[in-house]
């Protein structure tokens, strides 16, 4: 990517910027005075109002909208349908097995997941956790300082130990296994199949979009994925749950301490540089990737990260990212 006079360019999924105007191939994204347009289920923005489909987010003064299970939010309140979320005052709720974190607390419906102090309970999936360990059902995948795990059946855990049925997961202080080959762990080291990753301030390995990490730092098979102490992953175009979800550590949703990625082996790219309107630039050394639509926030600032690459009818090409700064 290169640019001059406010212009950024890339290859195969190019971003062009001039006086706030951006364009991308295989479905344009145009930005001019806060106005964005796109096709293939991308984004429309007029005077700060964003609309989207296929898990793309929309923003209007801190308000998030979306279809296909995306999210809604106004000043910290999250409202939604079709497997999205409901929240108020930083307290988040989810449906369809989707989970959310606020001050270390996660909530979800479709199995009513409630918790406090990083402890979770699921009345349907019978998910229980303690000692900062969280668990999810309905293919909800999470990972952070408070590690969450997922299986198709029951899960019980304490101090990082998991037990499950129907995709049986068994764990002890040094080993976590399941019959379907879903998760494997060793003292905070989580393993996943099909590009599903978990992190607990240790090493993370996976298949199908292999990731490796140490001390919570993740790398993709192309060596271009980076994280920090709280790194989260999803599979396919699922970010941290079904549909499009975002999570943070200790209630913070940000793009540095809690960097989020989408696996499936396609979350890679060249040194595509991302910007947010706050003037903070993310480059090749701290590259962030999302999947269809990801949200980041820090200290009351919410970011919408939209990765335009060829999955789920989004865009193809290099990692072309659009980040918006929404002050809630």
- Whole-model pTM: value is 0.13
The pLDDT value given to residue 196: 33
> Is residue 293 in a domain?
no
The pLDDT value given to residue 44: 39
Write out the two tokens for 176.
């976590």
Write out the two tokens for 179.
């019959």
Rounded CA-CA distance 175/73 in Å is 39
> Is residue 263 in a domain?
yes
The pLDDT value given to residue 107: 37
> Is residue 53 in a domain?
no
> Is residue 17 in a domain?
no
**Domain limits for position 98:** 86-268
> Is residue 321 in a domain?
no
Rounded CA-CA distance 219/41 in Å is 29
The pLDDT value given to residue 104: 30
> Is residue 137 in a domain?
yes
The pLDDT value given to residue 230: 26
> Is residue 75 in a domain?
no
> Is residue 323 in a domain?
no
Q: How many domains does the chain have?
A: 1
The pLDDT value given to residue 47: 31
The pLDDT value given to residue 133: 29
Please write down the HEC assignment for all residues of the chain.
CECCCCCCECCCCCCCCCCCCCCCCCCCCEEECCEEECCCCCEEEECCEEEECCCCEEEECCEEEECCCCCCEECCEECCCCCCEEEECCEEEECCCCCEEECCEEEECCCCEEEECCEEEECCCCEECCCCCEEECCCCCCCCCCCEEECCCCEECCCCCCEECCCCEEECCCCEEECCCCEEEECCEEEECCCCCCCCCCCEEECCCCCEEECCEEECCCCCCCCCCCCEEECCCCECCCCECCCCECCECCCCCCCEEECCCCCCCCCCCEECCCCCEECHHHCCCCCCCEEEEECCEEEEEEEECCCCCCCCCCCEEEEEEEEC
Write out the two tokens for 222.
């192309």
Per-residue pLDDT of the chain (328 residues; tens, 9 = 90+): 222 333 333 333 333 333 333 333 333 444 433 334 443 333 333 333 333 322 223 322 222 333 323 333 333 333 333 333 333 222 233 322 333 333 233 333 322 333 332 233 332 223 333 222 233 322 222 322 223 333 323 333 333 333 332 223 333 322 333 333 333 332 222 333 323 333 333 333 333 233 333 323 333 332 222 222 222 332 222 222 212 222 222 222 222 222 233 322 222 222 222 222 222 223 222 223 332 233 332 222 223 333 322 222 222 222 223 332 222 2
| Non-local CB neighbours of 316 within 8 Å, separated by 6+ positions | 12, 13, 25, 26, 308, 309, 310
């Amino acid at each position: 990517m290169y640019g001059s006079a406010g212009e950024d360019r890339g290859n195969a999924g190019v971003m062009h910027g001039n006086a706030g105007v951006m364009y991308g191939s295989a479905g344009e994204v145009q930005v001019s005075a806060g106005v964005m347009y796109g096709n293939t289920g991308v984004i429309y923005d007029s005077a700060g109002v964003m609309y989207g489909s296929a898990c793309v987010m929309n923003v209007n003064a801190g308000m998030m909208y979306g279809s296909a299970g995306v999210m809604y939010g106004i000043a910290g309140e999250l409202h939604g349908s079709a497997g999205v979320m409901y929240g108020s005052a930083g307290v988040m709720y989810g449906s369809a097995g989707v989970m959310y974190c606020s001050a270390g607390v996660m909530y979800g419906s479709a199995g009513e997941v409630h918790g406090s102090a990083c402890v979770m309970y699921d009345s349907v999936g019978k998910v229980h956790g303690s000692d900062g360990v969280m668990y999810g059902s309905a293919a909800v995948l999470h990972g952070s300082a408070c590690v969450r795990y997922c299986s198709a059946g029951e899960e019980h855990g304490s101090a990082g130990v998991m037990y499950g049925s129907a995709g049986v997961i068994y764990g002890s202080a040094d080993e976590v296994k399941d019959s379907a080959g879903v998760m494997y762990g060793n003292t905070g080291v989580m393993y996943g199949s099909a590009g599903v990753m978990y992190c607990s301030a240790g090493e993370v390995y996976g298949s199908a979009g292999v990731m490796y990490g140490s001390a919570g730092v993740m790398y993709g098979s192309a060596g271009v994925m980076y994280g920090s102490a709280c790194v989260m992953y999803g599979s396919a175009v699922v970010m941290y749950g079904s549909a499009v979800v975002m999570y943070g550590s200790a209630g913070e949703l940000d793009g540095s301490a809690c960097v989020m990625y989408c696996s499936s082996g396609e979350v890679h790219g060249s040194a595509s540089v991302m910007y947010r309107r706050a003037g903070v630039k993310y480059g090749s050394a701290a590259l962030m990737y999302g999947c269809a639509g990801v949200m980041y926030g820090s200290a009351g600032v919410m970011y919408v990260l939209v990765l335009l690459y060829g999955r789920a009818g989004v865009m193809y090409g290099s990692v072309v990212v659009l980040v918006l700064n929404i002050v809630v």
